[in-house]
Structure 1
Amino acid sequence: MHATTALAVEPFVLKDIRVEGLQRTDAGTIFGALPFRIGDTYTDDKGSAALRSLFATGLFTDVRLEIDGDVIVVVVEERSIISSVEFVGLKEFDKDALSKSLKDVGIGEGQPFDRALADRAEQELKRQYLTRSLYGAEVVTTITPVGRNRVNVTFTVSEGEVAKIGEIRIVGNKAFSEGTLLDQFELSTGGWLTWYTKTDRYSRTKLNADLESLRAYYLNRGYLEFSVDSTQVAISPDKQSISIAVNITEGQPYTVTGVTLEGDYLGREDEFKSLVSIEPGEPYQAEAVAETTRRFNEFYGNFGYAFARIEPRTDIDRATGRVAVVLVGEPSRRVYVRRVNVAGNARTRDEVVRREFRQLESSWYDGRRIKLSRDRVDRLGYFSEVNIETAEVPGALDQVDITAEVTEKPTGNLQLGAGFSSADKVSLTAGIRQENIFGSGNYLGLEFNTSKYNRSLVVSTVNPYFTIDGISRAIDVFYRTTRPINSQGSDYELITPGMAIRFGVPFSELDTVFFGIGWERTEIKAGASIPNSYFLYREQFGDTSDSLPLTLGWQRDGRDSALVPTEGRYQRLSAEWSVALDTRYLRTNYQIQQWIPFTKRYTLGLNAEIGYGKGFSNRPYPIFKNFYGGGLGSVRGFDQGSLGPVDVTGAYIGGNRRMNINAEFYVPMPGSGNDRTLRLFGYVDAGNVWGENESIELDTLRAAAGIGLSWISPVGPLKLSYGQPFKKFSQDRIQKFQFQIGTAF
């Protein structure tokens, strides 16, 4: 009997099933998709279902069912397999990233080829180029057979030139100038820095964000009925220039007459009223309303009401231009936290995040503790983003799950610093550190200095959770050689090997107390031009001095960010007390920083530091423990370590007392919008170092002013500064240009 196509046949009992046409696909895939087995009764409906099921696998371009007596023959024609996916002419995008994204939609090496998917991938590539303002980009897909039913897929791209924004117009504005309104936009018509910021590239998402900024600008100045009527985006015929027109209606400004509370405020109306930041008699400000709503939500959250709702209602009187604000509060229900989850941490261990949480599982939802937990995780410095998500537990109205969504960032840090002067020529400092080694939250660092006058090698490790209670342990091993600056040339040096261990005990969420012990040996290696003060100390106490310093310190960190702070205060007090071996001394240092935000774009940073040292037990303060001033981290514009007393031989020997005062005012880089990673700053530094026999007089302070650039670079925070001393003395050594990576002041 000859095989016939299985169409409109009488039902019969199957005795066998054969498959023809397979080259790569396993026969089991075919049998698994069939709705019948040997011994079943075959019908037309089952045949149709079999065809649908086999086509749905996506493995075949053609499928037929033929009948040979009581046998069904499944004849298939397999799809070609993609041998490779190549890109030609690709510049704007990373090839590996595109390959991965296309593989996710079915176009990848080893996958069945589907022409429809290839066409869809081509359109997706074109769409991606549109998001980069490459409107002239062309993509051509080429399919090349390579034998054994395989094909190569090649996307040939002609990217063209980037279309730049040539004009942005705002139509309908009366209260504010067009220039003032365009200052609220991230998009721009180009400038000398747009090669970096790319703000002259059109993006619908960016334009929508700018329109929201424009709306917020008006709503914060009383224009409650402001609206964006339309936007027109036009591209030039050569697809190289884009024009944007925004049509707005301002409406009239409104003044707030009063604020009233309605709803359930848990019997704490007075406490809620103290949180209101809306000022009667002032123009209506949407930011103040949003801030008040946020505060109310947080305050409800402090009592376990995670889903409280606050609805701001405005009663407008257009005739008088006045508005009354009504805040309607509904606490909803009180909830427990069932589970705390961590997401997004591919490298960092869960416990590193969890141990910073102050919101416990199986306890009342507490908004204060959740915010504190988020801030503590953010302060770790391991993540570029930390967000807290709250989700209801299905079937349990009084329970929620909390998820800490983190975005990891590289925690390895390369620190570099350099200075130029007529004496030192080029001095370099460098360090390699990993703040989250192996995702454990531990710190490991290696620092070295190749300066002509100060060379050092330091290996440090810190375990922030040495105990389960959060007590940290730090171990330092170091080897330093110092050659203090001498006008006659430095052919002597101080050699200091040593080690130290210290512990940090947290006493509050912001306060930590440190204590520890160390050992160090200082050898004064003499030369022909050794300063007289070092010569006398060496003659009296020998060329080698051992110290056993005890350390005690306190730190309070209330900054909003350790990397780019805009507000908050940081304080640190440290003391080093040598109680045994060859030296007896106390060396103390206190530092305070205050960050003051003027607006979200302008920040003032203030820093002050004082140090004091004294000898005990009828022994002088060791000269090799002196403070030094000048240069990076002190008074910029002066050579490193060149301030303070000068020995009779002309050497800068430092002193047992010092003071530094620094001020930096940060402004956005022109053309960078509100980008906090790239800013300009102006600075004023003042300070000096005094010896034991000198009186501290403000007239002896050195001071300098200058400008600089701050950039959060891929290898760490970079600062370039150029300063000019405006209070100096004839013996001072000037160093106008300096840069550093990895430090704040």
Structure 2
Amino acid sequence: MKGFLRNVLPAMVLALWVPTAAPESFTVSDIEVEGLQRVSAGNVFGALPVEIGDRVNNNLLSESIRTLFRTGLFSDVSLARDGDILIVEVEERPSISDIEVEGNENIETEQLMEGMRQAGVEEGQIFQRATLERLELEILRSYVAQGRYNADVQAEVEELPRNRVAINFNINEGDVAAIQHINIIGNEEYSDSDLISRMALRETGWWSSITNKDKYAREKLSGDLETLRSHYLNNGFVDFTVESSNVSLAPDKQKVFVTLAIDEGPQYSVREVKLEGNLIVPKEELEKLIVLEQGETFSQQRMTMTSNLITRRLGREGYSFANVEGVPQVHEDGTTTVVFEVQPGKRTYVRRIHFRGNTATHDEVLRQEMRQMEGGVASSDRIESSRTQLERTGFFQQVNVDTSPVAGTDDQVDVTYTVEEQPTGSLSANIGFSQVSGLIFGADISEKNFFGTGRRASFGVNSSQSVNSANISYTNPFYTVDGVSRGFSLQARETDFEEEDISSFVLDTITARMTFGYPISNNTRLNFGPGYSYNRVKAGRFPAVEISNFIDEEGDSQSAFLLSGSIVRNTHNRGRMPTSGSRNSLSIESAVPGSALTYFKIRHKTDSFFPIDSRHRWVGRLRTEVGYSDGYGDVNATPFYEHFFAGGYGSVRGYEANSLGNESTPADDAMFQRERPFGGNVLVETSAQLIFPVPFAADSRSMRTAVFVDGGNVFDTTRGFDPAADEIRYAAGISFEWITAIGPLGFSLAEPLNSQAEDDTRRFQFSLGQQF
């Protein structure tokens, strides 16, 4: 009311005063404006309904005053006449110089400021007290919606020099009112306690007060009403309604009482399910997608699921805008006929495929991964498969896809893939540490997306107390337009196995390879290629009998001409830390005739992820690996330096790295030499894990925790240590993995479950600066 008097009363008084302040009419020869400080004269002339040359009377002058008041720029307006000159005298409203908010914790200051800006209250704007009073009420309503009924909002206005004001909002948020009692009326099928247990809101109590579930909020109540509605609809109560929801407040404004009046209606079962409309796909195929069965209790959820399944099936055929609506038709006998009305619309085609967000990666690299082609039928399966292919490249942290109709057509769509690029290369010197190799020094240049072309290139040198190596590689994943890849690699490596606590020898290796990859399907590739390897063995201080005998018989250097092949099927949902899908590979490598020693190695690996919840935060993982190697031709066994090893991080945790299996035989003259791991030609490993969210961390793409059970061992059939189930070693524990800025970090805490006296165990294991 006060705001009304301040704004309207002056205009009424001045309007009544005008007829006595000016003659009845005259022709305006000029207009002068007095009293302006910040408002431009142009704003006045633009609003004034009088121009030079107009003949004015009392009515027009009164309208002019009202018009200028309506601009909201002035607190006072008067008109005067000097001869034929119209003089407009104004008093500007003050401008807002500063706005301060104090006392708010549950609503952010920026959120309050944004609401003020939308209402026209911000620094530099004209101050209007009526608007300020409305803002006080709006802020107060926001707190009331949170259940803070005793909140108080007061706006203080401080007048400043040069016709300015400062506004200070003093907020007392108060406490959220606790729910003293929830009363449900009209429920017969389900008890109050059953229904309340499904709600987010709870009556006040020691536990609910700790979890804040007894704190009333309007949004929470609305969500609970939807939860109850869904519960009833999913259990056959098609006619369920919420007749009223009343919230009453105690005099102290600290307690609320919630009363819900519902009408359950009868419970319905399914009499019949029908498919109507233009089915497009054979009816028998669509009927297999129906998850509602005759005789069972009706479920809104299962009806919606059926609609979605049929819609997706039509989308596979190119009907991108198909509409499948399930409608329950109730009968007096307590049954319902569910009719699915299928409206496929027109078959759609892809006009254009657009890419957004790829500032570094060339468009053609993304197009190479497309399974949906421009000009082709818009298939939801192929569009989604293309998105998955982009995520598997490892170039992008996230990929989203949007299908939009083309304006002016009813059978064309544009598909837009929006990507969020992530670093794919590095140029770094690094220092790491591993319990196996000790301190690790290295310099690496690697790029998985070389100059945005999708090609991979790397060069690196690394040095530790046990390994010195240098490598260079280059791979073109699209060597041909059909997706055939070609790669080259060259590596030189010196490994002191005595320093790695494996055996007493040093192995120098130079290896060169060429690899081709051929796509068999979207998820399966065949890889093959030739290679060459040169190996030189140097005995350590206390070489084992097996090593000494090998050098005596075969010499200290061997050359091998290699042929390798593998088939890999990968359905992981992303390249790093996947949460669903599996990767299966079968590989064989052979040193062919013409080599100093002829042998072969076969390995089979699986790595599968099984999401437990819809958000993929709880995930099961099963990893297996088996390997076998042997000599052929005139060679009876695999060279010892090609043996498999097991134990340690990434293998069977809880045991020393590479320590499992039958040990080497000490030389007779080596008094102080202990038996050392010697590996074997048969490898068996498995790991079952339950991955769960990292506490207090939301980023599941760069870190994860898991509980696990590992099992495995290596066997040497050439020395009589044949595979046996009772020789498998097991361990259980917990692990943590994190992709950090300085490299991968991983550690595990494991307890061996069936270790023997001769086993080397290590419960805590970690690695930093190396791949897991």
- Relative to the length of structure 2, the TM-score reads 0.68
Over alpha carbons, which structure has the higher Rg? 2
Cα distance in structure 1, aligned partners of 2:557 and 2:208: 58
Give yes or no for contact 2:350–2:415 (8 Å, CA) kept in 1.
Answer: no
State the one-letter code of the partner of 1:658.
Answer: L
Matches for 1:547-566 after TM superposition, within 5 Å: 553-559=566-572
Matches for 1:242-257 after TM superposition, within 5 Å: 253-257=267-271
Change (3 A) 1:33 1:463: farther
**Aligned-pair distance for 1:703?**
1.5
Partner of 1:508: 521
- Relative to the length of structure 1, the TM-score reads 0.70
Give yes or no for contact 1:82–1:110 (8 Å, CA) kept in 2.
Answer: yes
Residues 292-351 of structure 1, C-alpha deviations (whole Å, 9 max, x = no match): 2112222333444333332323344554x5443332323333444455566799999988
Cα distance in structure 2, aligned partners of 1:144 and 1:276: 69
Identity over aligned pairs, percent:
32
Number of residue pairs matched by the alignment: 735
Residues 20-44 of structure 1, C-alpha deviations (whole Å, 9 max, x = no match): 5234x66666666667776777788
Change (3 A) 1:110 1:651: farther
Change (3 A) 1:420 1:440: closer
Partner of 2:7: none
Residue 368, structure 1, aligned to residue 385, structure 2: no
Give yes or no for contact 1:51–1:63 (8 Å, CA) kept in 2.
Answer: yes
Change (3 A) 1:189 1:52: same
State the one-letter code of the partner of 1:636.
Answer: R
Cα distance in structure 2, aligned partners of 1:135 and 1:497: 77
Cα distance in structure 1, aligned partners of 2:511 and 2:151: 62
2:711 to 667, 679, 686: 686
Matches for 1:517-596 after TM superposition, within 5 Å: 553-559=566-572, 568-573=581-586, 589-596=603-610
State the one-letter code of the partner of 1:684.
Answer: V
**Aligned-pair distance for 1:268?**
2.4
Three-state SS of the structure 2 residue aligned to 1:296 is helix
Residue 12, structure 1, aligned to residue 27, structure 2: yes
Change (3 A) 1:732 1:188: farther
Partner of 1:635: 652
Partner of 2:3: none
Question: Please, what is the CA RMSD of the aligned residues?
Answer: 6.6
State the one-letter code of the partner of 1:261.
Answer: L
**Aligned-pair distance for 1:186?**
6.1
State the one-letter code of the partner of 2:646.
Answer: G
Give yes or no for contact 2:502–2:659 (8 Å, CA) kept in 1.
Answer: no
Partner of 1:698: 725
Matches for 1:28-427 after TM superposition, within 5 Å: 68-69=82-83, 71=85, 80-88=94-102, 103=117, 106-108=120-122, 113=127, 115=129, 140-144=154-158, 147-158=161-172, 204-209=218-223, 211-228=225-242, 253-266=267-280, 268-317=282-331, 319=333, 321-340=334-353, 358-376=371-389, 382=396, 386=400, 388-391=402-405, 393=407, 395-396=408-409, 398-402=410-414, 404=416
**Aligned-pair distance for 1:581?**
11
Cα distance in structure 2, aligned partners of 1:709 and 1:521: 38
Change (3 A) 1:624 1:43: farther
**Aligned-pair distance for 1:247?**
6.1
1:727 to 746, 750, 754: 754
Residues 86-119 of structure 1, C-alpha deviations (whole Å, 9 max, x = no match): 4545655666676667556655555555555655
2:37 to 2, 22, 38: 22
Q: Which moved more, 1:114-123 or 1:641-650?
A: 114-123
Cα distance in structure 2, aligned partners of 1:98 and 1:461: 55
Bigger relative CO (Cα 8 Å, ≥ 6 apart): 1
Change (3 A) 1:27 1:170: same
Give yes or no for contact 2:498–2:505 (8 Å, CA) kept in 1.
Answer: no
2:622 to 597, 603, 606: 606
**Aligned-pair distance for 1:147?**
4.6
What residue ranges of structure 1 are gaps of 5+ in the alignment? none
**Aligned-pair distance for 1:390?**
3.7
Give yes or no for contact 1:194–1:671 (8 Å, CA) kept in 2.
Answer: no
Three-state SS of the structure 2 residue aligned to 1:699 is helix
Cα distance in structure 1, aligned partners of 2:23 and 2:455: 74
Matches for 1:422-433 after TM superposition, within 5 Å: none
Cα distance in structure 1, aligned partners of 2:577 and 2:657: 25
Three-state SS of the structure 2 residue aligned to 1:727 is coil
Three-state SS of the structure 2 residue aligned to 1:332 is coil
Cα distance in structure 1, aligned partners of 2:446 and 2:135: 42
Q: Which moved more, 1:702-711 or 1:276-285?
A: 702-711
Give yes or no for contact 1:607–1:661 (8 Å, CA) kept in 2.
Answer: yes
Residues 426-484 of structure 1, C-alpha deviations (whole Å, 9 max, x = no match): 9999x999999999989999999999988999999999789887778999999999776
Give yes or no for contact 1:485–1:642 (8 Å, CA) kept in 2.
Answer: no
